[in-house]
Amino acid sequence: MTLTPSTSWASTGLQLVDEPRTITVGIADDEVLLRAGVRGVLERSGLVVVGEASDGGGAVELVRRRRPQVLLVDAAMPGMEGLVAVRMVRRHAPGTQVVVLCTPQTEEVLFPALRAGAAGFLFKNGEPGALVNAVRAVAAGEAVLSPSATRALVDHFTGADSERRDAARSRISLLTRREQEVLVYLAQGMANARIARLMYLSEGAIKAHVSRLLTKLRCDNRVQAALIARDAALPC
């Protein structure tokens, strides 16, 4: 089991979490060997795996019982599809951040996964260290995309149609000027600490702005807000 090297995350603008802390994780994948490999990678890095599931229904039940901070979900599982599970988890356990795992052959699920509320999207053919960094990042409230997924996202929104752009701009008009500025930085993949430095504000103030703009935009997480910023063709 390998995931994208941690050095490659620079292309996403992601700020990795420097200090390891205890983070609880659930794993949902129908491949037993893959689950075992992921569990080993996470536990060797000090993360705590609180449960596993082999299908979407089991993933939802796992989150209901154990409330992990992060859930890793295979996009294609038997029974309830992974993306259906993502929507249910986000609806009933908003404190659990979801990272969707897929193969390069199934990258078409990228946009549905983000729309469903996933905070991250990784391909399964990368480096173990990137998986660990991704789990820590989403647990800290950041968004994570593998470099190839980021390229696909940019390519998609480069051609945003006028109707989608107008709808996005209408939603963004509800934000204050300061919140719009934070949104631009957020859409560039910046962490709160970096945005705070650029805006000469405290990190707590940035967290408050992010929380308010997510509420106004009716977004579950930063990734969905970034999608709206891309739709609106903000200078991201």
- Residue-wise pLDDT for 62-114, tens only, equals 999 999 999 999 988 766 677 888 889 988 898 999 999 887 656 677 778 88
User: What DSSP character marks residue 71?
Assistant: E
When the candidates are 3.40.50.300, 3.40.50.2300, 3.10.20.30, 3.40.50.1110, the CATH number that belongs to 2-154 is 3.40.50.2300
Burial class (CB in 10 A: 0-12, 13-18, 19+), 7: exposed
Judge whether residue 207 has pLDDT over 90.
yes
pLDDT value for 63: 96
Judge whether residue 7 has pLDDT over 60.
no
Give the tokens for residue 15: 């700020």
pLDDT value for 9: 34
Burial class (CB in 10 A: 0-12, 13-18, 19+), 141: middle
Q: Per-residue confidence at 157, pLDDT binned at 50, 70, 90?
A: low
Please tell me the distance from the alpha carbon of residue 178 to that of residue 38, in angstroms, as a whole number.
Answer: 40
Beta bridge partners of 3: 126
Class of domain 160-231 as given by CATH: mainly alpha
Segment among 14-18, 56-60, 136-140, 232-236 with least mean pLDDT: 14-18
Q: Of 95 and 8, which is predicted with more confidence? A: 95
Amino acid at 42: L
Please tell me the distance from the alpha carbon of residue 49 to that of residue 83, in angstroms, as a whole number.
Answer: 21
Beta bridge partners of 215: none
Judge whether residue 16 has pLDDT over 60.
no
**Annotated domain spans of the chain:** 2-154, 160-231
Average pLDDT, the chain: 82
pLDDT value for 154: 56
pLDDT over 90 percentage in the chain: 46
Please tell me the distance from the alpha carbon of residue 228 to that of residue 183, in angstroms, as a whole number.
Answer: 9
Q: Of 218 and 78, which is predicted with more confidence? A: 218
Rg for the chain, CA atoms, rounded: 17
Is the Cβ–Cβ distance between 78 and 101 less than 8 Å? no
Q: Per-residue confidence at 236, pLDDT binned at 50, 70, 90?
A: low
Helix, strand or coil, per DSSP, at residue 45: coil
Judge whether residue 50 has pLDDT over 90.
yes
pLDDT value for 112: 81
Please tell me the distance from the alpha carbon of residue 135 to that of residue 119, in angstroms, as a whole number.
Answer: 10
Burial class (CB in 10 A: 0-12, 13-18, 19+), 25: buried
Is the Cβ–Cβ distance between 174 and 216 less than 8 Å? yes
Judge whether residue 182 has pLDDT over 80.
yes
